Amino acid sequence: MKKLHFYFTLPFLTLLSLQANDPFFEDPFGNDMFKEVSEMQQQMDKMFERMHQQMEARTKQLNHPGSQFYLPSTQMNQSMFVDQGDHYLYDTGIRPGKENEIHLSVENNRVTFKAKVTTSSDTNNTSHQSVSMMQRSETLPVDVDSSTLKMEEKETIVITVKKKDKKIQLPLSGTSI
């Protein structure tokens, strides 16, 4: 009887061992599907972090004074207007060009400067075009006449605004100084 029992169990054991090695019966997601998803998420996080670092490095490379894409900016606590005695001056650092779109507006003693700078270059069989945009907005100093605000093209585009005339108030007659 024991031999008969052995002959019946032998094919089942063989079948089980074949199934264990058969890739058809293996779980395609591995033992823990959520572990693999977590690992993929970590790999994606690393990839996006590297991509972000590369974008920051490119921005730093492109935004330096020798670069064609450079648009100067000032610190947030620094005024864009520089006192020149009888007027204030703001040098935009933008070279004049036909394709540039520059808008200057004053509203409620606040000046807004918007620029869209387009540069193009053509070589033998390639053409290159780049577009840069910037916007600055600042309250005018209290001692300026906002009606004298003007934009001029020199080596770069500059904005000037004249100071108000300082009027000396004389005392009214009959009063002492």
Domain coordinates in residue numbering, the chain: 29-62, 82-162
- pLDDT band at residue 33, thresholds of 50, 70 and 90? confident
Calculate the average pLDDT of the chain. Answer: 76
Residue in the block written with tokens 């024991």: 2
CATH architecture of 82-162: Sandwich (2.60)
Check residue 155 and report its DSSP letter. S
pTM: 0.47
Confidence check: pLDDT of 174 > 70: no
